[in-house]
């Protein structure tokens, strides 16, 4: 296997570290969960991934999040019976080839461009006010 299939809009399993957990001194994600690859940026020393968590827990009011419709859950390989959200007001970054957490496994699935790209654009417009955890250290 290789990392080539992990691209923007792919959904992979990853031990996501929430910003609140990192703020309390935690360094490891508590469980592997689906995450959406917000963007893959090519670099000579290893491609950087921006990762958004996918959760079944309804976000608190005021969070920047999007509920995933059934068609997109199917494309992404997510459970159709559960309500699912992508959280977009926080993220992890990690680097292919330097990560302790990324595995060269095929993605679970992939969101459509029509669904996902507007979310990424909204993230970019708000990026200065959002928080992330760099996992590539």
Which pair of tokens denotes residue 93? 């970054």
Return the percentage of the chain with pLDDT > 90, whole number.
Answer: 85
Rounded distance between C-alpha atoms, residue 72 and residue 95, angstroms: 26
Query: Does residue 119 sit within a domain?
Result: yes
Q: What is the pLDDT of residue 1?
A: 61
Query: Does residue 72 sit within a domain?
Result: yes
What pTM value is reported for the model?
A: 0.94
Residue 87 — pLDDT band, cuts 50, 70, 90?
A: very high
Parent domain of 121? 10-134
Q: What is the pLDDT of residue 129?
A: 85
How many structural domains is the chain composed of?
1
Query: Does residue 4 sit within a domain?
Result: no
Which pair of tokens denotes residue 116? 């996902």
Query: Does residue 33 sit within a domain?
Result: yes
- Nearest CA to 124 out of 52, 73, 18 is that of 52
Query: Does residue 64 sit within a domain?
Result: yes
């Amino acid at each position: 296997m290789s990392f080539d299939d992990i691209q923007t809009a792919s959904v992979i399993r990853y031990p996501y570290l929430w910003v609140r957990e990192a703020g309390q001194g935690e360094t490891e994600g508590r469980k592997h969960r689906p995450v959406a690859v917000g963007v893959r940026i090519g670099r000579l020393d290893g491609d950087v991934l921006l990762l958004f968590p996918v959760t079944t827990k309804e976000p608190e009011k005021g969070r920047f999040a999007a509920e995933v419709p059934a068609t997109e859950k199917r494309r992404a390989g997510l459970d159709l019976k559960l309500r699912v959200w992508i959280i977009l007001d926080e993220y992890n970054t990690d680097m292919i080839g330097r990560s302790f957490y990324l595995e060269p496994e095929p993605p679970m699935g992939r969101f459509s461009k029509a669904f996902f790209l507007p979310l990424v654009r909204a993230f970019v417009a708000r990026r200065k006010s959002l928080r992330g955890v760099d996992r590539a250290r």
